[in-house]
Amino acid sequence: MGSNAMLTQMMTDRTPPLPPVTRPVRKLPQANQYAFMTQIDTMGAAMPFARNAEIYGENERADYLYKVLRGSVRTYKLLADGRRQIGGFYLPGDIFGLEGGDHHTFSAEAVVDSRVLVVKRSSVMGLAGRDAEIASQLWSVTARELQRTQGHIMLLVKTARERVAGFLLEMANRQPAQNEINLLMPRQDIADYLGLTIETVSRTLTQLEQDEAIAVPKSRHILVRNRGALSRMNS
Amino acid sequence: MGSNAMLTQMMTDRTPPLPPVTRPVRKLPQANQYAFMTQIDTMGAAMPFARNAEIYGENERADYLYKVLRGSVRTYKLLADGRRQIGGFYLPGDIFGLEGGDHHTFSAEAVVDSRVLVVKRSSVMGLAGRDAEIASQLWSVTARELQRTQGHIMLLVKTARERVAGFLLEMANRQPAQNEINLLMPRQDIADYLGLTIETVSRTLTQLEQDEAIAVPKSRHILVRNRGALSRMNS
DNA sequence: CGACCATTTGATATGGATCAAGCGATGTGG
DNA sequence: CCACATCGCTTGATCCATATCAAATGGTCG
């Protein structure tokens, strides 16, 4: 709630054109996402968010859309009894907050201190109305997000082992170093993403380590030792 | 696999313009979906599918998109060990098969004898490139599907009772008679949609009936007796 | 060093899966 | 029209994966 006022303020102090963003190169199915990103980069304002700071809240008006510049963002929803479901983790280059309705269905928070590009939704929609290329890229981003959530559904019906393995592969594929995962989020976030408890996540990681599928030199630093074994737990 | 050949054939025998489709009026967030539907109605061919017939298979090229005219369609994915996850149920007026990649990530089958409008994806994409209104509606359909899958995720992390209650509410909201649900699918489909077993679904329905939240005069015919009670199991 | 927070590990409880009948509709052939 | 096979659904008994409750360990920062 409070963040919307802050956003509006930030949006109006027209920050100078953004410096080129340095980010790890990520393999993406469609290369043209970069064009879209470059386009909207000039339309918004970069904003810093401290670790755990709210970016927007569930049920707020979805007047902006967002791109991670640095750090990481999680979207989530709270249930009546306090359970929390995380919808996704977003890394530099990822766009989030793009939803069908005019209100957000999830909340968004910074996982670590982060920098986020904030763009007025109406500007993007307006541009898409005039430029077919932008419209197509807007659709691509949304469709890719749809695919991601479908993959998330497939994770949630599996065993704990399979869920954790799937999560690790997903993360590994998004990191520059293919077999080295730097988790930016605590175990509780992983648990809430996978619909498990923190204890089960921890135990499962220990198991995977004992089975020599992974190594865990530090709790937030995981090495993939046997990708085949992890993959076999999927599909 | 086989269906693609059939589709191609159907698509080429240019069936005459479709007769106006009669369908129950459904409450939809965006009324303009109808415009989109009317537009694409003229672009494709109507095809019949028998109960359980495959409409397309996972990993096939996504060269077409589809709209249910009559009956019902389910999308699903099989896991290595034979488990089946249903991604969604589509009713008359619903569009399905619209995916980000160029290959389908789910398979689609008719739940009951159905009639489906089949439209070349490239035609719709081409039209969207020239007509901003169509492009916007294409985006809306995709974004709404994204919201649906997010709702599905929220279901999958709940208890059996909550999942079944959520499913019933979802179905009730899609039926013309708000408190009367005519299930077109067998219990196994419900189970595979909710990530439960058929036995658990059955037991849970019995429980809900004992708690007077619903009545089940026939196994495929459910009456919502206490919507509040069902809703309270959600959120 | 000590306080605090994140993570792991251990012991026990439980919701839903599994295994196994039973039951009620629907349809088919005699 | 009935006998009986089939299929979809329900109900019962038991088991097991993961949750819950509890405590120990480790890591970070003042």
Tens digit of each residue's pLDDT (9 = 90 or more) over A163-172: 999 999 999 9
pLDDT of residue B21: 36
**Is residue B96 over pLDDT 70?**
yes
Percent of chain A whose pLDDT exceeds 70: 83
Binned at pLDDT 50, 70 and 90, residue B24 comes out as very low
Q: Mean per-residue pLDDT for A120-149?
A: 95
3-state DSSP of B189-205: HHHHHHCCCHHHHHHHH
> Integer distance in angstroms from CA B215 to C1' C20?
28
Give CA–CA dist A116/A66, Å, rounded: 7
pTM: 0.87
B80 interaction partners in chain A (CB closer than 8 Å): 235
**Selected residue of A78, A106, A157 to mutate for chain B interface (largest B Cβ count, 10 A):** A157
Buried b (16+ CB within 10 A) or exposed e, B154-190: bbbbbebbbbbbbbbbbbbebbeeeeebebbbebebb
Which range (A23-32, A107-116, B177-186) has the least confidence?
A23-32
CATH of domain B160-234: 1.10.10.10
Which class for B146: exposed (0-12), middle (13-18), buried (19 or more C-beta within 10 A)?
buried
Question: Is A135 within 8 Å of B140 when comparing Cβ atoms?
Answer: no
A97 interaction partners in chain B (CB closer than 8 Å): none
pLDDT of residue A99: 87
pLDDT of residue A73: 98
Q: Mean per-residue pLDDT for B25-31?
A: 41
Q: Mean per-residue pLDDT for A94-111?
A: 95
pLDDT of residue B15: 35
Q: Mean per-residue pLDDT for A14-37?
A: 43
> Integer distance in angstroms from CA A59 to C1' D29?
37
**Is residue B3 over pLDDT 60?**
no
Q: Shortest CA–C1' contact from B185: which nucleotide?
A: D8
pLDDT of residue A7: 44
pLDDT of residue A27: 42
Q: Mean per-residue pLDDT for A208-230?
A: 97
Q: Are strands B64-70 and B214-218 parallel, antiparallel or unpaired?
A: unpaired
Domain with residues A3-151, CATH architecture: Sandwich (2.60)
**Is residue A89 over pLDDT 80?**
yes
**Is residue B201 over pLDDT 70?**
yes
- Better-scored residue on pLDDT, A230 or B40: A230
**Is residue A233 over pLDDT 50?**
yes
Highest mean pLDDT out of A148-157, B29-38, B43-52: A148-157
Identity (one letter) of the amino acid at B18? L
In chain B, ranges of CATH 1.10.10.10 domains: 160-234
Question: Is B149 within 8 Å of A153 when comparing Cβ atoms?
Answer: yes
Give CA–CA dist B186/B152, Å, rounded: 19
pLDDT of residue A16: 37
Average pLDDT, chain A: 87
In chain A, ranges of CATH 2.60.120.10 domains: 3-151
Q: Mean per-residue pLDDT for B156-161?
A: 98
Q: Shortest CA–C1' contact from A158: which nucleotide?
A: D17
**Is residue A100 over pLDDT 70?**
yes
Q: Do residues B180 and B223 make contact, with C-beta atoms less than 8 angstroms apart?
A: yes
Question: Is A106 within 8 Å of B135 when comparing Cβ atoms?
Answer: no
3-state secondary structure of B19: coil
pLDDT of residue B210: 97
- Beta bridge pairs of residue B90: B73
Q: Mean per-residue pLDDT for A52-75?
A: 97
Q: Calculate the alpha carbon distances from B11 to B5, B46, B57, B65 in Å.
A: 10, 9, 18, 12
